[in-house]
């Protein structure tokens, strides 16, 4: 096991950030921690990277205990905080050399690991980090987190505030790193990124709701899911929410994801109801629930 977390709890004064959290991450796994802002993701990262001490419970990273062997952990993990935290007034190259030096290594020694990423920002290596675009900052931060060949990589919301193209590139990079045997624990508020992980854990209000593979987790969804569309989206949502048998109504792109709380639900009945509300061009089709739907259902 690369990361084991057992009954970790942490509270700040009267705010409970984590409540009895336990899970394990296998070696070489790309594990996603999915949850809204304030769910406790960053707190958990800070405990695992030895920046914070939990009130209760134990955790190990790369086989080392987070409290007793914190020094060994610091040698073998890479951490990329959610906020860009490199020296804005140093250049790309200087930042990288700085982190290599304090890890007691050099860029050359581990160049093969960061090569794919570094090549993309190398043309700007004499530019100060503060002057880089969001995507480039992200790549630089990843390079700095990888420069000492960590066994475990912690990425706290690495793609928040990054454009869709750079986000996709970033996840491709993570997949490649995973192939090199690095265990990656990544947190994200984006549900679409969850599908790219080997396994995901839903976290909300400091509690783990569910842990499984993205494919399996949607099967936990208890009800059949319907895609509904019509000529007037706003009125459709309002009408569905007013419908007495509705279980959940969430807008999803051009559709509304709808579940009913009856076991013998007949779409035709709903169709008649919607037509009575002066909606036209109505279509109701059964569909697969997404990770987002599952999360919303579990978080209810």
Partner 1 sequence: MKTILYIIQKEFKQIFRNKGMLPIIFVLPIIQLVILSNAATFEVQHIKFGYIDHDHTSTSRALVERFNASTYFDVLTDFPSEALANSAMLKGDVDVIVEIPHYFERDLQKEKRTNVGVTINAIDGAAAGVENVYLTQIVQRFNQQVKVNLLQASDLQVQPIQIETIPLFWYNETLNYKTFMVPGILVLLVTMITLFLSGMNIVREKEIGTLEQINVTPIKKSQFIIGKLFPFWVIGMGLLTIGLILARVVFNVPMVGSLVLMYFYTSIYILVVLGIGLFISNFTETQQQAMFIAWFFMVIFILMSGLFTPIESMPKWAQLLTEFNPIKYFVEVMRMVMLKGSSFMDILPQLLKTLLYAVVMNGLAVWSYKKTT
Size of the site for partner 1 (CB under 8 A): 29
Place of tokens 């990423």: 117
How far is residue 90's CA from residue 126's CA, in Å, rounded to a whole number?
Answer: 9
How far is residue 97's CA from residue 176's CA, in Å, rounded to a whole number?
Answer: 23
Confirm if 199 and 211 have CB atoms less than 8 A apart.
Answer: yes
> Nearest approach, Cβ of 97 to partner 1 (angstroms)?
8
> Nearest approach, Cβ of 103 to partner 1 (angstroms)?
6
- In the list 38, 56, 68, 89, the residue contacting partner 1 (rule: CB under 8 A) is 89
Confirm if 27 and 183 have CB atoms less than 8 A apart.
Answer: yes
> Nearest approach, Cβ of 152 to partner 1 (angstroms)?
11
Q: Are strands 225-229 and 77-80 parallel, antiparallel or unpaired?
A: unpaired
Residue 73 tokens read as 């952990």
Residue 66 tokens read as 């987070």
- In the list 102, 119, 216, 242, the residue contacting partner 1 (rule: CB under 8 A) is 102
Confirm if 287 and 226 have CB atoms less than 8 A apart.
Answer: yes
Mark 229-268 with x for binding to partner 1 (rule: CB under 8 A) and - for no binding: ----------------------------------------
* Shorter beta-carbon distance to partner 1: residue 148 or 199: 148
Mark 123-152 with x for binding to partner 1 (rule: CB under 8 A) and - for no binding: ---------------------x--------
- Residue 64 makes contact with partner 1 by CB under 8 A: no
Q: How far apart are the first and last CA of the chain?
A: 32
Binding site for partner 1 (CB under 8 A): 49-53, 70-71, 74-75, 77, 79, 81, 83-90, 94, 97-99, 101-104, 144
């Amino acid at each position: 096991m690369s990361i084991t977390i057992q009954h970790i709890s942490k509270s700040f004064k009267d705010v409970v950030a984590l409540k009895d959290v336990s899970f394990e991450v296998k070696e070489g796994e790309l594990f996603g921690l999915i949850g809204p802002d304030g769910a406790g993701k960053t707190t958990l990262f800070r405990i695992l990277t030895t920046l914070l001490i939990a009130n209760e419970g134990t955790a190990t990273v790369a086989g080392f205990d987070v409290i007793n062997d914190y020094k060994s952990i610091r040698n073998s993990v890479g951490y990329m905080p959610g906020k860009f935290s490199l020296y804005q007034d140093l250049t790309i190259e200087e930042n990288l050399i700085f982190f290599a030096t304090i890890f007691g290594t050099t860029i050359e020694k581990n160049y093969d690991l960061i090569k794919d990423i570094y090549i993309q920002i190398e043309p700007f290596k004499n530019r100060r980090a503060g002057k880089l675009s969001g995507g480039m900052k992200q790549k630089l931060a990843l390079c700095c987190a990888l420069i000492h060949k960590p066994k475990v990589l912690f990425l706290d919301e690495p793609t928040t505030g990054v454009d869709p193209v750079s986000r996709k590139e970033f996840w491709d990079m993570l997949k490649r790193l995973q192939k090199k045997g690095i265990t990656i624990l990544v947190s994200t508020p984006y549900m679409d990124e969850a599908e790219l992980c080997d396994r995901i854990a839903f976290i909300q209000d400091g509690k783990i709701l569910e842990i499984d593979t993205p494919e399996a987790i949607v099967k936990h969804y208890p009800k059949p899911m319907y895609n509904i569309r019509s000529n007037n989206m706003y009125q459709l949502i309002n009408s569905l929410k007013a419908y007495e048998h509705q279980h959940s109504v969430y807008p999803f792109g051009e559709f509304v994801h709808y579940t009913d709380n009856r076991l013998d639900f007949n779409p035709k009945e709903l169709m008649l109801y919607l037509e009575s509300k002066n909606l036209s061009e109505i279509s109701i089709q059964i569909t697969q629930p997404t990770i987002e739907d599952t999360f919303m259902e579990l978080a209810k």
